[in-house]
Amino acid sequence: MNKKMSQFLAICTIGGLSWVLVQNPWTDSYLAGIKREPAKLVSVNDRLYEEIQQASEKYNEKPADAVIDRVWKKTPGYNGIEIDVNKSYKRMKAKGIFNEKLLIFKETSPAVHLKDLPPSPIYRANPKKPSVSFIINVAWGNEYIGSMLDTLKKHHIKATFVLEGRWVKNNPEMAKTIAKEGHELGNHSYTHPDMKNLSMQASVKEIEETNKVIQEVTGVKPALFGPPSGSFNDTTVKAAASLGMETILWTVDTVDWRKPAPEELINRVVTKLHNGALVLMHPTDPTSKSLETLITSTEKNYKIMPVGEALSESRSKR
């Protein structure tokens, strides 16, 4: 048998065996089993994916747009929250079992932001945000500022100090200390006038001169304006807005300038706290003595943060 004939017979033999294997019913069963196995795995993971999607109905919250409320005026928006289904799925798919603790969330931004709204005063943060902010207006009261700073530092709290321009000029080191402690700085006008009686030009001058001295002394340019005694009108708000600033007021007042007993001050504030509250205070003896209790009482239900952070759309946990 020559070489070519041997090769021909070998090819025929291999072909015949291949045909037998393909036609064999046992082979068909084996191949079918291989095909079914991945389908089984995909099915399990599909159920996991569906469970994560169903959990979205429980956890997802839509974002809230910034609005100008009829009563509360300019109100910031608040991010929504939703489950990141794909990332949560990847985190759980190794075991193929739904685990609520392994869910991954992401925040969703509102469609309307503070910057989209016309000038209007701000009295509170978004009512969905479990935040409280301490606004400390400073035009006097140097003897109490040190102890208040110590208390804030002890409890790792950042407040918003709204500074009068003249006070900063006369007390540059104290202003620097407040800034170095990491507190937010706001603008309280330069000469503490009744802002509602000022023209646009005079209003801008008061705010602009204060920004200038605060920035020269501390290196910080304020973004918030707190009118003295809460006195303002549309001109005041527009003057601040022309300088890229928001005008802030408050929803809870310590009325500390009347020198109430610490127990009275604490009760007045704590009983009126709410989501997004802005609490007005000054460097006074009753506030200095009440501050620690105010902090510990507030932190039972809210997170204390500077006004700027409270007005942001980011979500906050207690």
Q: Please answer whether residues 125 and 311 qualify as being in contact, where contact means their C-beta atoms are separated by less than 8 angstroms.
A: yes
Is 303 exposed, middle or buried (CB count within 10 Å of its CB: 0-12, 13-18, 19+)?
middle
pLDDT by residue for the chain (318 residues), tens digit each? 455 555 555 554 555 545 444 455 544 544 444 444 443 434 555 899 999 999 988 899 999 999 999 999 999 999 999 999 999 999 999 889 999 999 999 999 999 999 999 999 999 999 999 999 999 999 999 999 999 999 999 999 999 999 999 999 999 999 999 999 999 999 999 999 999 999 999 999 999 999 999 999 999 999 999 999 999 999 999 999 999 999 999 999 999 999 999 999 999 999 999 999 999 999 999 999 999 999 999 999 999 999 999 999 999 876
Name the pTM for this structure.
Answer: 0.83
AA identity, residue 88: S
DSSP secondary structure letters along 169-189: HH-HHHHHHHHHTT-EEEE--
What are the tokens at 294?
A: 């105010």
How many Cβ atoms from other residues are within 10 Å of residue 64's Cβ? 19
**Chain position carrying tokens 């839509």:** 62
User: Domains in the chain, start-ordered, CATH in brackets?
Assistant: 1-59+78-111 (no CATH), 120-311 (3.20.20.370)
**Maximum distance among all Cα pairs of the chain, rounded to whole angstroms:** 122
Residues 6+ apart with CB under 8 A from 237: 119, 120, 121, 247
| Sign, CA torsion 32/34/35/37 | positive
* Phi, psi dihedral angles at 281 (to 5 degrees): -150, 170
Torsion of the alpha carbons at 233, 241, 123 and 276, rounded to the nearest 10: 180
Q: How many CB atoms lie within 10 A of CB 36?
A: 9
CA distance 179 to 183: 6
∠ CA 116-220-244, nearest 5°, is 20
The crossing angle, in degrees rounded to 10, of helices 142-154 and 172-180 is 10
The Cα 137–Cα 141 span in angstroms is 10
Residue 13: per-residue pLDDT? 52
